[in-house]
Amino acid sequence: MGITERKERERQEMRSLILEAAQQAFIEEGYEKASIRAIADRVEYSPATIYLYFKDKSEIFFAVHELGFEKLIQEMTNAVEGIENPIEILRQQGYVYMKFALENPEMYDLMFIINAPMEVENQEWVCGHRCFELLCSTVQRCINEKLIKIDNLEVAAMSVWSFMHGLVSLKIRNRFKTFPQEHIQHLMLASVEQMIELIQHE
């Protein structure tokens, strides 16, 4: 490995280390309270080092978001590989979305719930839009094949996303305490099935 390649690898390793520390800082302290200095302390470097990799805290937060959405999009893509029926694709994407949220509640909180800037250099929440576009592509196929009742793409896609977000947010924020805990998983899965059934053509 040449000097240039080694330096690039070291730079990427340092960037990943900063993002890991930043993710924990945002989770534990919240976006507003987490500072560049706090992130630097976690990696045991000076704040000046952080600025060699990121312009400001918003850019760091945006990069953390990118990591989360890349993981979610990859899992959603892998789950539907080889499936032809758009309704089944939609169902599996819903399952993956729910699974991702329940397995990564703190990351999901950063991605969808916490109040923080969603814009970096006039690029508004690009990573989130990519995920929504994946959903829109599936919903459009359902509309084209007349498999769902709603023929407005934006309304249909937003309805599905809002349902799933609401469902997992209730679980993450412990709003299902009135239900027997052993039944929660079954209840959530059944709710996804009911949502799919409601939007389908009879």
CA distance 117 to 110: 11
For residue range 178-197, list pLDDT tens digits in order: 777 778 888 999 999 999 99
pLDDT of 119 reads: 59
Q: 63 near 54, Cβ under 8 Å?
A: yes
Kindly tell me the sign of the dihedral angle through the C-alpha atoms of 177, 185, 200, 78.
positive
pLDDT of 1 reads: 63
pTM of the model: 0.87
CA distance 185 to 191: 10
Q: Which residues contact 1 (CB under 8 A, 6 or more apart)?
A: 9
pLDDT of 44 reads: 92
pLDDT of 202 reads: 64
Give residue 54's region: left, alpha or beta (phi > 0; psi -120 to 50): beta
pLDDT of 50 reads: 95
pLDDT of 125 reads: 66
pLDDT of 120 reads: 59
Closest-CA residue to 166 (of 115, 129, 118, 112): 112
**Which token pair is 109?**
């909180």
CA distance 121 to 136: 25
DSSP string of the chain, one letter each residue: --HHHHHHHHHHHHHHHHHHHHHHHHHHH-TTT--HHHHHHHHTS-HHHHHTT-SSHHHHHHHHHHHHHHHHHHHHHHHTTT---HHHHHHHHHHHHHHHHHHSHHHHIIIIIS----EETTEESHHHHHHHHHHHHHHHHHHHTT-BS---HHHHHHHHHHHHHHHHHHHHTT--TTS-HHHHHHHHHHHHHHHHHHHB--
The domains of the chain, with CATH numbers, are 1-54 (1.10.10.60), 58-199 (1.10.357.10)
Class of residue 130 by CB neighbours under 10 A (exposed 0-12, middle 13-18, buried 19+): middle
- Mean pLDDT for back-to-back runs of 10 residues, the chain (202 residues): 82 94 92 92 94 92 90 95 96 96 92 71 70 95 95 95 94 84 86 93 72
